[in-house]
Each structure stands twice: as C-alpha cells, then as structure tokens.
Amino acid sequence: MQTYRRERQTIEDRLGGREDFTNQWGLTAIRADRAYAQLELEHGAGTEPGSGQTVGLIDSGIDIGHPVFAGKTVTEHFFSGATDETGDERSHGTAVASVIAGRPSAAFTASVTAAHGVARGADVAMFAVPTSSSRGDYVPISLTGGNDADDRWAARFTHVLDWSSGGRSLDFVNMSVGYKGIVEQYSGQELRSGLDATIAALAQTGIGEKTVFVWAAGNAHSEPCDPADFTGNPDLCVNGSVNAKSVEIMPGLPARIAELRGHMIAVVALGTDDRIASFSNRCGIAADWCLAAPGVRVRAAYFGPHPDDGSPGVQGAYDASGTSVAAPMVTGGLVAMKHYFRDQMPNTELVARLLATANKRGIYADSTIYGQGLMDLGAATAPVGITGVALSDRVDGPGSNVARTRFTSGTSLGNGLARALAGQEIAVFDALGAPFWFSLGDLAGEASRPSVAARLQSFMAPPRRGRTSGTLQPDPVPLTGQGEAVGPAPLRLGMLGTAPFGAGGGHLSLAGQALTLGATTLDGLSVAAFSTEGLQRQTPVSGATLSWQPDGSPLALTGGMVAERETVLGSTASGAFGRFSGSSAFAGIEGNARFGTWRLGASVEIGTVDAAARGGMLARVSPLATSAVALQAGRKLADGDALTVSVGQPLRVEAGRAKLSIPIGRTKGGRVMRRSLTADLEPTGRQIDIAVQWRRPLAEGSEIRLGAGWSRQPGHDASADPDLSVLAGWRHTF
C-alpha cells in the first residue's frame, strides 16, 4: 500500500540524516536509530525520546550538576547510610544514569567525547544507597537464619514505589546493584524465607500498573571462588572460578517467584564483538525474563578523581563496562517505548513486547546465555505481524488489515469524504496489541478520471439516437427485425454507454456499460431495465427507467432507480470501512427543439440516494441529494458532416453526511478508544464539462471523428486543475 511505502521511505530519510552513534556503539547495536526515526515520525522532528517521564534508579548517587543532566529535573534521595558523593571516588550512579538519560550540551561535547543516553529526554530520580565493590573470592549471600538486609531493602523498595513528584510516579526503576549469589543456588522456599519482605514489596500486589525493575545480571563469571561456598552446586565453582551460568539472586527472582514475573527483567552484557562479555553472568534459568544489551566500553558520564593527580570532583566521560551499564540500556529502551506508544500500553505489556521483539537470530537463539535475545529497540517500536483496524471494543478482538482498508470516492462524491478525513488520525493495532497512528486521509482517495483508452472507446461508440443524456434509450438493437421501427418499438436489447468527456453523465452513468432491455409504447411511454451482473470488470449495478413524452411534445419526463450492490454513487469501501451499498431514485425533465439548422437538447435530473454502511468505521450515511445537468446542440454540415457541442454538470452530491467511528488509541486495559466524526459529503467544487465533436462519413460505412473536451474542477474538486482532452479516430461498420 502506498501509504506504508511512503512512511518507510520517510524513516529511511530520517535515518540517513542522523548521527552514526560513533560515541556510543551500543545505540547502533540495539537499533536505537530506527526507534528514534519512528519517534520523530510520530511526534515531530527533534523529539527527544523519553520526554515527559521520570526514570528511577537505586544506585550510589548522582552528580546533579554534571553537564549531561543540564536542563533536566534531577532529584536525589539518600537512604540510611548513603551520603552525597564528592567525587573522591568514581560515581557509579552518575555513569548508570547517563546511559539512560544523559544529554550532553554542545559546550561539554566540544571538550569531552560524550554520548547521549537511550532516553535522553527523561528526567531522573536517584535513590542513593551505600555501595561497595569488594575484592577477593566471590562469596554468595546466606539466607539461612534470617536476612538482616531484607526489611531494609523492602522499605527502600516501598519508598521508591510510593515516590511521586509533579504528578509523575516511576514506571521503571534501574537496579545496577544487588546481592552476590547465583540464583540457581537457592530454592524458591529459601528465597521466600530469607527475602519474604523484599518479595512482598516487589510483587506490588493489588497495584494495577506495576513498576518495572530492570536488574543488572551480575559480573560474576570467572570471578575467583571457593568450592566450599557452593556446597550442593559444584558446577557453579569450577577450577576456582565462578561458572555464572545463571543471573544473580535479585535479577533471577522471577525464575523462582511467580508473582514477580512480568515486571522484572535481568540484563546480561555483550562485548563490542556482539557476544556475551567474558565477565557477564549468563541468563540461565531466568532466560524467560532476561535480555542481552551492550555492556562493554559503553560511553558514560564520569564524576570522580582526576586520572593524573587524583583531585576530586572531575566531570567528564569514560568507557564503562559491566552489566551495570547494560541494564540502563534496557531501562532507557522501555522509557523510549513508553513515550512512543503515548503511555497507552501498561508497563507489563511493554516488557513483554521488548522480550518478544528481541533479536533471537544466530547466536542469540541460545536462551541459556542470551535469554530472549539482543534487545532490538527498532523492532520494539515497529508493527509486529499484521496491523489491523479494530472492529470491536478490544485490541485483541477482530480487526481488518489496514493494508486492505481503502475508501475510493466516485466522481459524484468527489473530495467530500476525503476532505473530511484529511488531517484526522487513526490508530491501528499490531499482533501484540500495540497502537500505531497513521493519517486517516491516506486511506481515502478519489476515483481516477477515465483513461484515454476508455474515453476513446466511448468516443468511437455508435451515435446516440436517444435523448440529451443518451442513456434512457441506449442504442437499442431490436430483438426482431432490423433498422428503425415504425410505431411502437419492439423489445430492444442494447448496451448502456457513457459520454467520452463526462458531459451529460446522469444517474445512469453509474451503470457504465450495462446490458439493457427496453421498449416504447404508442402513447410515448418508454421503459427499460439494465444490469451489469455477470459483466467483467464492472461492479454489480441494476435498475430500471421510465420516461414519457406525449406525441408532439418537445418535453419528456424521466425517472428511474439504480441499485448498487457494492458501491454508492460509484464510491467503493473495503477493509475497515466496511461494506457499502446504495439505492438511488431520480426524476428529471428533458427537452428537444430546433432553431434553424441546429437541434438543441437539455436535461436536468435530481435524485436521492439511500446508502447502507455496515461492518466497519462507516456507522451511518444520511440520504444523499444528487443532481445532473446536460445541454447539447448539434447540426448537419456540408457533405454529411455533423457537429455536436455539449455542456454539462455530471452527477454530483448536493447534500449528505456520513458518520464514522474511528479508533484513536487504546486504554491500558486493552479497550479501544474511538472518536465519532461527522463528515459533510458535498464536494468542494462543481465539475463543468464542455465537449465538441465533429464527424465526417466516408465511403462504405466508414467515418472519421475529431473531438475535444474541457473540464472545469474535474471530480467536483475546487482545487483540481482543468482537464483537457483531444481525441481522433476512424470507425468502420461492417
């Protein structure tokens, strides 16, 4: 569908103009560039991912005055035992926060090679805790006999979950700190016994919108260890080195504790070769809730001692490594997704989407190492599977493929509906229930003008012998006998045709090339029935006409009905627009008179259309008022030549409205939000057609023709350029 090809090209154009992330290779690895292009396409150029959100971190603290946080709202809370960092030691929390939300200023990047964070538009809430980086053997924590830290950590988590400021709460909390110990060492019962208060706090029981905790998986792999500390799990300490085949305790809790699943993620680290880093824990038994992200030489903000003289408080940037900087890649990705999807998806669905769309190809198919794969932010912000327009109240209910959704206005409807839909937005949903927004106007268009071949075919049709419109009595062929009948006409079979330039196109022009059966009585009454049923390349249209012209009268009264089984006034609907059909009734008057050598004719038709719309966004269409006008003058010239001039307004909607029910988004509970739109169907312009035709008979039934047609406001579109056609042809009758 052209709409989506245009959108993809727009994304590619934006990608071509973006920085190449030289300073932060991890952004390329997670395809953040594509996510940013999607975000700008959705929210406008210059949109900063994560804007309007605050991300939480529990870490060592933060240098609020660091230039990468300039212009942001950064708050810091100190839990018991934590103190404000002075820069005499390298700030772990400052580095981690910058990977999520850093936004270096131009002045800063001029002197320091810095990089922006994954969600550089987000604000930061830091919750400082005392941290340490112990050396020596890796010693797992003991949970027997009670854990003194359990209540303390439970209180911290409760405080973070209750935090709010300026109407904001925390949807995502980054955890690049935790306990030592491989989760495989502990049973579910042991964990519940030793961490019962922590588990209760993290479970967030009774809370509808749960806060997501993103955990660093741990850097224990190949650390020195004593087998005595791994009694019962000798495979976790092999030859004096930790075999971290699973994540550590806290990031691994969902593997043992069911109520924590869905809102906790563990993150393992990748090296610059896109493989698991040598130090990183593997996902192991937590694979279902584990992702991989860049965690080696990740560019981060530096706050600490000067590398030369050790003086404290130096601000800069450096290359950091560890699952501590892999986790904020994922946290920032979730924040960006929240922004992109307009906060219409619950946090748990964002987590599920991030896991489902991760790159699972090649080496990342090994879930024991990479869990659900390498985070792919580009895929997470792109439609998954078939994207459909919801036809029910639920995003997981029935829908119609947006690629097959189209409304094409017939000429009589013109740009009425397309104009009403222009600038409107429609939400469609992918296979995972995520909303995506497109221009509703792109799903509606106007019927194309007849091709040159079609005009030439009509132009070369046999000359009309009927009235001005040339449609009530369409070139009938008697079922018995040959030539013109004298007195009442026998039953006649013929084909209904259309004028080559559109002049005089009344209600019967809806039938196109229809098979027609008609007859005329002695008192001037003519009847005809027509249908396109079974004819190739024609929509099903049927109807009947009735006309009466008293003997000797220059005037005739006409009327009839046209039933369209799949269209309304030639307009077609498909996909989410639903099914469309219409029944038209019309009446008119025609007149013929001679003035000298000229024969003049005129016809006026008015009508009403009952349209039926069902099974789609078109909820109701009011009765439509229609009109058509045609004037014609013709005369014989010397040598049997004939000249015909015509002026007409083809069939046009004069009044009518349509009511649509348009999906515009979703609630976090999965219900489709809709907006009711009433569209005025009267087109903006009025098409006027002027046509001239000259015919010269030749010997042996041949004839040559020349003609020209000019249309003002074609398609009844006031903004359309005039249309000029010139035709010529030779016709021979056998």
Task: Report the pLDDT averaged over residues 157-182.
Answer: 95
Q: How far apart are the first and last CA of the chain?
A: 46
The pLDDT confidence band at residue 470, using thresholds 50, 70 and 90, is: very low
Confidence of residue 7 (pLDDT cuts 50, 70, 90): very low
Give percent above pLDDT 70 in the chain: 88
Q: Is 209 helix (H, G, I), strand (E, B) or coil?
A: coil
From 239-248, 328-337, 529-538, 597-606, the region with the lowest mean pLDDT: 529-538
- Report whether 607 contacts 583 (CB < 8 A): no
Residue 687, pLDDT > 80, answer yes
Containing 97, the helix (H) or strand (E) segment is helix 92-101
In a domain, 584, yes or no: yes
Q: Which of 701, 470, 709 is nearest to 603 (CA)?
A: 470
pLDDT of residue 2 exceeding 90, the answer is: no
Given 380, 397, 432, the domain boundary residue is 380
Same-domain status, 508 and 368: no
Domain boundary among 380, 405, 438: 380
Q: What is the mean pLDDT of residues 642-666?
A: 93
What is the reported pLDDT for 502? 41
| pLDDT score recorded for residue 197 | 95
Q: Which helix (H) or strand (E) holds 703?
A: strand 702-712
Confidence check: pLDDT of 467 > 70: no
**Quick check: is 36 in a domain?**
no
The Cα 421–Cα 193 span in angstroms is 60
Same domain, 334 and 469: no
Q: Are residues 270 and 375 in the same domain?
A: yes
* The length of the chain, given as a count of residues: 734
Is residue 227 within 8 A of residue 285, CB to CB? The reply is no
Instruction: Please check whether residues 366 and 467 belong to one and the same domain.
Output: no
What span, in angstroms and rounded, lies between the C-alpha atoms of 146 and 190?
A: 10
Does residue 326 share a domain with residue 216? yes
**What is the pLDDT confidence band of residue 307, given thresholds at 50, 70 and 90?**
confident
**Spatial CB neighbours of 591, under 8 Å, sequence gap ≥ 6:** 468, 554, 555, 556, 601, 602, 603
Residues 71 and 151 grouped into a single domain? yes
Helix (H) or strand (E) holding 43: helix 32-43
pLDDT of the residue at 389: 95
Is there a contact between 580 and 566 (Cβ–Cβ < 8 Å)?
yes
- Name the pairing type of β-strands 54-59 and 172-175: parallel
Asked whether residue 572 falls in the same domain as residue 706, the answer is: yes
Is residue 28 a part of any domain in this protein? no
pLDDT digits (tens, 9 = 90+) for 525-584: 888 898 888 876 778 999 999 988 888 888 989 999 999 999 999 899 999 999 989 999
Query: Which of 332, 353, 380 corresponds to the end of one domain?
Result: 380
Q: Place 524 in a pLDDT band, splitting at 50, 70 and 90.
A: confident
Query: Is residue 4 a part of any domain in this protein?
Result: no
Q: What is the mean pLDDT of residues 122-137?
A: 90
Q: How far is CA 384 from CA 356, 429, 488, 596, in A?
A: 10, 9, 67, 73
What are the beta bridge partners of residue 224? 241
Residue that is written with structure tokens 């221009």 in the block: 439
Question: Same structural domain for residues 366 and 278?
Answer: yes
DSSP assignment of 438-490: EEGGGGEEEPPPPPHHHHHHHHTSPPP-S-TTS-SS-S-EESSSSS--SSSEE
Written as one letter, the residue type at 466 is G
pTM of this structure:
0.86
Q: Please, which pLDDT band fits residue 462 given cuts at 50, 70 and 90?
A: low
Element (DSSP H or E) covering residue 558: strand 555-564
* pLDDT score of 354 more than 60: yes
Instruction: Say which residue the tokens 């009694």 belong to.
Output: 231
Q: Count CB atoms within 10 A of the CB of residue 533.
A: 13
What per-residue confidence (pLDDT) applies to 532?
87
Domain-located, residue 396 = no
Predicted confidence band of residue 147 (pLDDT cuts 50, 70, 90): low
Instruction: Give the strand pairing for 212-216 and 264-270.
Output: parallel
Interval 90-119: pLDDT, tens = 999 999 999 999 998 877 877 788 889 999
Average pLDDT, the chain: 88
Same domain, 337 and 456: no
pLDDT band for position 705 (50/70/90)?
Answer: confident
Residue with the larger pLDDT of the pair 710 and 380: 380
Lowest mean pLDDT among 166-170, 521-525, 627-631, 652-656: 521-525
Q: Rounded CA gap, 584 and 589, in Å?
A: 17
Q: How confident is the model at residue 162 (pLDDT cuts 50, 70, 90)?
A: very high
Average pLDDT over residues 504-513: 80
Query: Is 16 part of a structural domain of the chain?
Result: no
Check if the beta carbon of residue 59 is closer than 8 Å to that of residue 93: yes
Select from 293, 464, 259, 468 the least CA-distant residue to 372: 293
The answer to whether residues 124 and 268 belong to one domain is yes
In a domain? residue 394 = no
Each residue's pLDDT tens digit, 226-264:
999 998 899 999 999 999 999 999 999 999 999 999 999
Does the structure show a pLDDT above 70 at 447?
A: no
Instruction: Compute the average pLDDT of residues 663-686.
Output: 95
Using the 8-state DSSP alphabet, how is residue 262 labeled?
Answer: T
Summarised one tens digit per residue, pLDDT across range 186-231 is 999 999 999 999 999 999 999 989 999 999 999 999 999 999 999 8
Range of the domain at 283: 48-380
Question: For position 144, which CATH number holds?
Answer: 3.40.50.200
Q: What is the mean pLDDT of residues 458-465?
A: 59
666 pLDDT tier (thresholds 50, 70, 90)? very high
Q: What is the pLDDT of residue 455?
A: 64
Identify whether residues 351 and 462 lie together within a single domain: no
HEC secondary structure over 325-386: HHHHHHHHHHHHHHHHCCCCCCHHHHHHHHHHCCECCHHHHCHHHHCCCECCHHHHCCCCCC
Say if residue 348 is in the same domain as residue 459.
no
What CATH number has the domain bearing residue 516?
A: 2.40.160
Q: Is the pLDDT of residue 148 over 80?
A: no
pLDDT for res 154: 96
Structure tokens at 313: 């408080």
Burial level of 538, CB count in 10 A (0-12/13-18/19+)? middle
Among residues 488, 494, 550, which one has the least CA distance to residue 519? 488
pLDDT at 478 over 60: no
Q: Note the pLDDT of residue 407.
A: 92
Domain count, the chain: 2
Residue 453 — pLDDT band, cuts 50, 70, 90? low
Confidence bin at 490 (pLDDT 50/70/90): low
The yes-or-no verdict on residue 477 having pLDDT over 60 is: no
Structural domain includes residue 389: no
Which of 27-41, 442-456, 617-631 is predicted with the least confidence, judged by mean pLDDT? 442-456
The string of pLDDT tens digits covering residues 359-371 is 999 999 999 999 9
